[in-house]
Amino acid sequence: MTRHEAREHVFRMLFRRDFFPADEWGEQMERYLELLEPKDGQARIAEEDRQALLDKVLAICGKAEELDGEIDQAAEGWRTKRMGKADLTVLRLALYEMKYDDEVPTKVAINEAVEIAKKFGGEDSPSFVNGILARLVERDPV
């Protein structure tokens, strides 16, 4: 699995989070991962990739409150509660990678976030995401 594919899967799993009660969320992650498995029982993703996806999703969820606070500070006039779910999810993912994933350079995290925003967000999502992430970098170079 490429890093881009993994990042999209993490985005999709995180996106689902806001639509289910907390007590169902673990089951929803498992259901998503089951969709990646073909019907013949052959693994479509390696077990280490599967675990890496789960680990990253759980790590981002564990930092969501902190990440949202930083996003709120950078998003003048916009609070995370008012943001579109796709935009907020991609911002959380990118900010997490910028702050906590030493294997992902900041420029790569921003570029990937803009690409995901183009694919899953609205018409203005790419520029919105890019602007918020640029403010975060200006405020606290990562």
Q: What is the pLDDT of residue 25?
A: 83
Other CB atoms within a 10 A radius of the CB of residue 134 amount to 12
Residues 6+ apart with CB under 8 A from 68: 80, 88, 92
Q: What is the pLDDT of residue 82?
A: 84
Question: pTM score, two decimals?
Answer: 0.89
One digit per residue, the tens of pLDDT, for the chain of length 142 reads 889 999 999 999 999 888 888 888 888 888 888 887 665 555 567 788 889 999 999 999 999 999 999 999 998 877 888 889 999 999 999 999 999 999 999 999 999 999 999 999 999 999 999 999 999 998 776 5
Q: Give me the CATH topology for the region 3-139.
A: N-utilizing Substance Protein B Homolog; Chain A (1.10.940)
